[in-house]
Amino acid sequence: MPIEFSKQFTAHETSIPGVVLYDLPVHGDNRGWFKENWQREKMVALGLPDFRPVQNNISFNEKAGTTRGIHAEPWDKFISVATGRIFGAWVDLREGPSFGAVFTAELDPSQAIFIPRGVGNGFQTLADNTAYTYLVNDHWSADAQGQYTFLNLADETADIPWPVPLERAELSDKDKAHPRLAEVAPMPAKKILVLGADGQLGKALRDLYDGDASVEFAGRGEFDLGAEASFTVRNWKNYSTIINAAAYTAVDAAESPEGRTAAWAINVTAVARLARTAVEHDLTLVHVSSDYVFDGAAGSHAEDEALSPLGVYGQTKAAGDAVVSVVPRHYIVRTSWVIGEGNNFVRTMASLAERGVKPSVVDDQIGRLTFTQDIAAGIRHLLDTGAGYGVYNLSNEGEPQSWADIAADVYEITGGSGAAVVRVSTEEFFRGKSAAPRPVNSLLSLGKLAAQGFRPAGAAARLRDYLDK
């Protein structure tokens, strides 16, 4: 069958999620033909994942009927035919609802197909002297071979209609011995790694992803951000995403010489290592930021507002944001006034209310609480929906409040009187104390995240639920 010349470059979805068949323009004349087998800019514009190929392989097959597969490998592949023609068969061998899905097609040099990691690949040549070529985005190694998943070419469930019956085809003994689908262990998905898993946000992420084997949690004991070895001993090929829930958050202590050093080490140096790791291994990096990257002069802080931190803590968070922003696949989730499982303002006020204390609380700093369960849910929403990369503000919704307003609400909810809260200015509260400067307005605009389909709960309802528990 002759090659069809001058096709439009077109993408065709298939029955297997992520497997996409492409028509390639082939230009021919009396001398032969030419095609752009891989053209990153055009192909990415058409929707092909920018999968960063690192190796090009060619399989030459002398005889029609040569059959190879079905192999699912721990990397992505972009497959095309250099000469001849093939019948290709692909079976989804990944964990999930599409396990066992089958797609078949005949390919000549005017077509190519993208095969994601974990989808089994097999083919049969339909012409002598067929050359089959493929790009992969990881280097072959003996260690990687242990992560392959195989399916028997004759599996009855897949029921692949091989043009040349397998009893007359050329097969290797290894391919003949592969298991049937019922015996195949699905290839697990790449993992999400949560760092800082023992902090307030880390605990909320543990609750949210409880029972999900594709999410791995690491506290400081399992992953010390300050140790270079933490970054070198892990096989990053097995991960898709890092969620960095770790940070130095001692705002006032950061103003001391020791605190300044610690804040820069955790919030900037360690984040730079994470960013480098994400770039080198094509990972998504999720980083949690803070309203302290702003000076509080704006009425409501948008994601694209210029950074203007006042104190050391804010400066380190702003520097961390700048580092993460250069990672191609990144989410910076900017929060304010975080409340979760652990020591925090709401717990302190509840304890004071229980003991009948009349606290002095700042009344001229304005913002909204952000409960960690909503930060965790917002992060998951961004990842699950494949939202556009960039910065997203995330706090709970509701009317802006001062710290004193919130303290009064805590007293009322716990059975006390909000009038017990003594309202003071920031200047009065910190007079004679060593303290970091605070933004007077921490309100974050939430429209960008809402446009992605995520609306966090109201702060008032979350506060009541939190105190009820």
Sequence-separated (6 or more) residues with CB below 8 Å from residue 397: 368, 446, 455, 456, 457, 458, 459
Contact predicate 47/21, CB 8 Å: no
Domain boundary among 148, 183, 218: 183
Range of the domain at 165: 10-183
In this prediction, the residues of the chain whose per-residue pLDDT falls under 70 are: 1, 141-146
Contact predicate 127/77, CB 8 Å: no
CA atoms within 13 A on the CB side of 229: 4
Q: Which two tokens stand for residue 364?
A: 């001229």
Amino acid at 350: A
What's the pLDDT score for residue 140? Answer: 76
Predicted TM-score (pTM) of this structure: 0.88
CA atoms within 13 A on the CB side of 137: 18
Q: Which two tokens stand for residue 296?
A: 């509080």
In this structure, the answer to whether residues 295 and 242 fall within a common structural domain is: yes
**Which bin fits 410, alpha (ψ -120 to 50), beta or left (φ > 0)?**
alpha
In this structure, the answer to whether residues 220 and 101 fall within a common structural domain is: no
134 is catalytic: yes
Domain count, the chain: 2
Asked if residue 334 belongs to a domain, the reply is: yes
| Opening angle at CA 161, ends 157 and 163, nearest 5 | 155
In this structure, the answer to whether residues 63 and 145 fall within a common structural domain is: yes
β-strands 149-150, 67-72: how paired?
antiparallel
In this structure, the answer to whether residues 331 and 218 fall within a common structural domain is: yes
In this structure, the answer to whether residues 145 and 107 fall within a common structural domain is: yes
In this structure, the answer to whether residues 127 and 234 fall within a common structural domain is: no
Asked if residue 55 belongs to a domain, the reply is: yes
- Phi/psi at 316 (5° precision): -70, -35
The active-site residue out of 71, 301, 330, 381 is 71
Distance of CA 369 to the CA centre of its chain: 25
What's the pLDDT score for residue 154? Answer: 97
In this structure, the answer to whether residues 237 and 345 fall within a common structural domain is: yes
Asked if residue 378 belongs to a domain, the reply is: yes
Q: Which two tokens stand for residue 190?
A: 């790449």
In this structure, the answer to whether residues 127 and 258 fall within a common structural domain is: no
The residue behind tokens 């992803």 is: 209
Contact predicate 7/110, CB 8 Å: yes
The active-site residue out of 22, 27, 132, 134 is 134
Q: How many other CB atoms are found less than 10 A from the CB of residue 446?
A: 20
In this structure, the answer to whether residues 222 and 107 fall within a common structural domain is: no
Q: What is the three-class DSSP state of 451?
A: helix
Asked if residue 57 belongs to a domain, the reply is: yes
Q: What is the three-class DSSP state of 25?
A: coil
Please tell me the total number of residues recorded for the chain in this structure: 469
Domain boundary among 183, 216, 245: 183
What's the rounded Cα separation, in Å, for the pair 237 and 243? 16
What CATH number does the domain containing 361 carry? 3.40.50.720
466 is catalytic: no
Q: Identify any residues that bridge with 286 across adjacent strands, giving them in sequence order.
A: 243, 331
In this structure, the answer to whether residues 320 and 377 fall within a common structural domain is: yes
CA atoms within 13 A on the CB side of 6: 2
What's the pLDDT score for residue 118? Answer: 95
